[in-house]
Amino acid sequence: MSAKPDLKIVLCSPRGFCAGVVRAIDTVERALDKYGAPVYVRHEIVHNKYVVDGLKKKGAIFVEELAEIPENTTAPVVFSAHGVPKSVPADAQSRNLFSLDATCPLVTKVHREAAIHFKRGREIFLIGHSHHPEVVGTLGQLPAGAVTLIETAEDAKTINPKDPNNLAFVTQTTLSIDDTAEIVALLKERFPNINGPHKEDICYATTNRQLAVKKVAPVVDALIVVGAPNSSNSQRLREVAEREGCRIAVLAQRAADIDWTKFGNITSLGITAGASAPEVIVEEIMDAFAERYTLHVETVSAAEENEFFPLPRQVRPEAAAE
């Protein structure tokens, strides 16, 4: 049997779960432990099939709308990490549903910023991707027409506000740093008095994972992003790798997704994972490469992360003693 070729694996750090994702998953698991199955979850708790399937096996039932939840249930209903329009909690309350809000606190921060701008009478731009659940949730914080979505640099160049001197912008938390910076620069050039966030809306986890990919992508033959096609932050990692000159940059949900024809002649491979992708799949993919190559693993770090977000009060451990 011939010896396996050598392959240098460069792991991006940080990668995988962020504090908001950990909080959201823990919210569902704690609710299952405390109240028993079923626990209803509106929309995928995070955009990852492995995570969602694991929670289904434990008794979580995923729905897209509250109307799918039976009448008179006493089961908890969890709102996903992406956030929801204001109409959703209002609907839950009108039906006397017991709801748990697993919205990422950094998304909630954007909702609060938008509400403050609206209260101050400003026209609001939201930089983001239409139909993404986080954007739907942010748009749904305010009356229809109060927020205008900007998706591209072209939108920023052509948008015509009612009052150019009374504007504000907020952003989706999982965007490309570079694309967003370009759009913000265009808006500030056209509207010098526009109000922006005090602190960057793009979340720390999105930023750090992109910075790590920027360091690794130029020095490897290929890069795999562990993540789902509907995960915004995972798709942005793949785009960042391509932009940094990596000739093979692919998204993979599991090892079974890998198209091995693309990796025939590589000698180095970068691996990262989106903020909703578990480390166990990174290990699964490394095991798949270890069957074909002799691996030499190193890690390239862009930042240290130690963020922690407390769980919703109803499922915190101390709540049991109240």
| 245 backbone φψ class: left, alpha, beta (φ>0; ψ -120 to 50) | left
Closest CA to 224 of 138, 182, 309, 284: 284
Written as one string, the DSSP assignment of 221-290 is: SEEEEES-TT-HHHHHHHHHHHHTT-SEEEEESSGGG--GGGGTT-SEEEEEE-TT--HHHHHHHHHHHH
Q: Which residues on neighbouring strands pair with residue 224, listed in sequence order? A: 250, 271
Annotated active-site residue 200? The verdict is no
Long-range contact set of residues 23-27: C-beta below 8 Å, sequence gap at least 24? 23/81, 23/102, 23/104, 23/105, 23/309, 23/310, 23/311, 24/78, 24/80, 24/81, 24/102, 24/104, 25/51, 25/55, 26/311, 26/315, 27/78, 27/100, 27/102, 27/311, 27/312, 27/315
Please tell me the distance from the alpha carbon of residue 60 to that of residue 74, in angstroms, as a whole number. 14
9 and 292 Cβ atoms separated by less than 8 Å:
no
**Which one from 113, 134, 151, 182 is the annotated catalytic residue?**
134
Binding residues for isopentenyl diphosphate: 47, 82, 132, 231-233, 276
CB atoms within 10 A of CB 4: 13
Binding residues for [4Fe-4S] cluster: 18, 104, 203
Q: Which residue has the tokens 């992109």?
A: 210
Written as one string, the DSSP assignment of 304-317 is: ------PPPGGGSG
Furthest-apart CA atoms within the chain: distance in Å: 73
Please tell me the distance from the alpha carbon of residue 76 to that of residue 46, in angstroms, as a whole number. 17
The one-letter code for the residue type at 167 is L
Query: Is cis: bond before 14, omega within 30 of 0?
Result: yes
Could you list the active site residues? 134
